[in-house]
Amino acid sequence: MSSPGRLVAVSNRVGPVRGAAAAGGLAVGLVDALRERGGLWFGWSGRTAPAGRVKLHQEDAEGVRLATLDLTQQDFDGYYCGFCNNCLWPLMHFRIDLMRFERRQLEAYRRVNARFAQSLARLLRAGDLVWVHDYHLIPLAEELRRRRVRQRIGFFLHTPFPPTEILSTLPEHESLIRAFFAYDLVGFQTQEDLVRFQEHVRRACGGTVRGDVVTAFGRELQTGAFPIGIDVDQFHRYAFTAPGNREFARMQSVLRGRDQFIGVDRLDYSKGLLRRMDAFGRYLEDHPKAHGKVILLQVAPVSRGDLTAYRSFRQELDREAARVNGRFASFDWTPVHYLNRALPRRTLAGLYRASRVGIVTPMRDGMNLVAMEYVAAQDPADPGVLVLSRFAGAAQYLREALIVNPYDGEQTAATMHLAREMRIQERRRRHEALMRRLRARDVARWRRDFLAALGEAPAARRGSRKAR
């Protein structure tokens, strides 16, 4: 049974709706569906306000209603900087060495989810399909159910899901996992993430798994893998029309025949930037003939700059880039070009196109859209080569990339060489196959598949939601 109702998207950050494609991120995936169904998008306003003055803001943009709530400073610190990004983010990326758990922050996380639920419940209509995004909002459905919300609610996790041994290090993990069971559908990026979730429920929560249905805490939950994708043709167009093609031409004249390797990542420890820099240094060490002929352009805008772990990581990366440049640069060649800036997506598309090799080597990543954007921006007649970490979800799908283990610096360096030297026939063959894969799993399919599965979530299960 498919629902004709509105789509209600919920995510930590909302919008933009106008120019969503140019802004990238989640907006690309959601805005079309919200427009088609005359939807509502709910989340944090991005602002803090004193406790008595926290407001719900509402506006309409191109047929989509945006509803956003302020946070108090205390909630911002405890929920966003604290439990979300100092505890759950490292945990989801298998970095328990960086995980900081404080009960006060867990309380803020629950409090913000409860506030979101309270405001959102009032805005919902019968027949709405609610789609909640990412680790910030895991307990949202539980809070909505407490407020007698009966509509179908789905959840999609954009990060990886960790193995049970790692997840069990989180104090009170059971309450977090129980919260998943208030949803009608929970979706993951890859089959591996899905299996890890199911394994955890079986081993740590005494649950059972039958096909995609997971039973625990007295409830049944539909689960599935829904790999996210990009709008392939649109991104390709960005690289071949103004201003992307101008950026491409400008870059080519700056490069003057040199080969460019490109990395584009939020400045985050999960993205493998330190080891990438090191592997590039190793590549230069091993291939003196490449000196003066290759540069690595690393674009890495500051992200979550309020957090200590991110600040010290940035300093380490600055030092590592300086080390490689100090070791190899000559008066007319600087091997590492490093920009701490966000760039317009059309500019990015031109830069990808101008790069002989795309280096995407996260230590752990839910999917990784940069890998897909790099492939989509290439010229099919003379395409570049993608070097991709096996620990990005994208490696499950993009089989014709050169797959590396980012913990193996020697292999990564050797693969950089292989990528640069690859013959044109081989590059074309791989690129063609990768484009077929991108098209088969683009962002429209991700959205369609998830919403269809949510629309079909069995009504009987929704009726029996007695907590144990």
Active-site amino acid positions:
158, 365
Can you say whether residue 63 is alpha, beta or left, with left for phi > 0 and alpha for psi between -120 and 50 degrees? left
To which residue do tokens 């309450």 refer?
175
Site string for ligand ADQ, 264-293 (x = CB under 6 A): xxx---------------------------
**DSSP conformation class of 326:** H
Residue 24 interacts with ligand ADQ (CB under 6 A): yes or no: yes
Residue 163 interacts with ligand ADQ (CB under 6 A): yes or no: no
Contacts of 59 (CB under 8 A, 6+ apart): 65, 66
Q: Which of 16, 25, 224, 455 binds ligand ADQ (CB under 6 A)?
A: 25
Residues of this chain, 212-241, that bind ligand ADQ according to CB under 6 A: 228
Distance CA 140, CA 217 (A): 17
Distance CA 153, CA 124 (A): 12
Cα 379 to chain centroid, rounded = 25
CB of 400 to ligand ADQ, least distance (A): 19
Distance CA 362, CA 302 (A): 16
The beta strand positions in 194-292, using DSSP E, are 208-210, 213-216, 219-225, 259-264
Residue 196 interacts with ligand ADQ (CB under 6 A): yes or no: no
Considering only 171-179, 258-266, 418-426, 436-444, which stretch makes contact with ligand ADQ by CB under 6 A?
258-266
Which one, 24 or 82, has the nearer CB to ligand ADQ?
A: 24
The answer to whether 135 and 9 have CB atoms below 8 angstroms apart is: no
Which one, 301 or 455, has the nearer CB to ligand ADQ?
A: 301
Q: Which of 86, 159, 190, 222 binds ligand ADQ (CB under 6 A)?
A: 159
The answer to whether 291 and 330 have CB atoms below 8 angstroms apart is: yes
Q: Which of 348, 385, 438, 443 binds ligand ADQ (CB under 6 A)?
A: 348
Closest C-alpha among 63, 65, 13, 4 to residue 40: 65
Q: Which amino acid is at 325?
A: N
How do strand 336-339 and strand 219-225 relate by DSSP bridges? unpaired
Residue 30 interacts with ligand ADQ (CB under 6 A): yes or no: no
Site string for ligand ADQ, 64-83 (x = CB under 6 A): --------------------
Residue 92 interacts with ligand ADQ (CB under 6 A): yes or no: no
Cα 467 to chain centroid, rounded = 32
**DSSP conformation class of 127:** T
Which one, 171 or 305, has the nearer CB to ligand ADQ?
A: 305
Question: What sign results for the dihedral spanned by CA atoms 121, 124, 129, 130?
Answer: negative
Considering only 42-50, 71-79, 215-223, 260-268, which stretch makes contact with ligand ADQ by CB under 6 A?
260-268
User: How far lies 80's CA from each of 26, 115, 235, 335, in Å?
Assistant: 18, 14, 31, 37
Considering only 51-59, 179-187, 361-369, 418-426, which stretch makes contact with ligand ADQ by CB under 6 A?
361-369
Cα R_g (the chain), whole angstroms: 23
CB of 263 to ligand ADQ, least distance (A): 9
The answer to whether 457 and 185 have CB atoms below 8 angstroms apart is: yes
Which one, 370 or 453, has the nearer CB to ligand ADQ?
A: 370
For residue 196, what are the β-bridge partners?
A: none
Residue 367 interacts with ligand ADQ (CB under 6 A): yes or no: yes
Which one, 98 or 213, has the nearer CB to ligand ADQ?
A: 98
Considering only 31-39, 75-83, 172-180, 367-375, which stretch makes contact with ligand ADQ by CB under 6 A?
367-375
Residue 366 interacts with ligand ADQ (CB under 6 A): yes or no: yes
Which one, 168 or 303, has the nearer CB to ligand ADQ?
A: 303
Considering only 142-150, 180-188, 193-201, 369-377, which stretch makes contact with ligand ADQ by CB under 6 A?
369-377
H/E element holding 155?
Answer: strand 152-156
Which one, 277 or 414, has the nearer CB to ligand ADQ?
A: 277
Positions touching ligand ADQ (CB under 6 A) are 24-25, 158-159, 228, 264-266, 299, 301, 342-343, 348, 365-370, 373
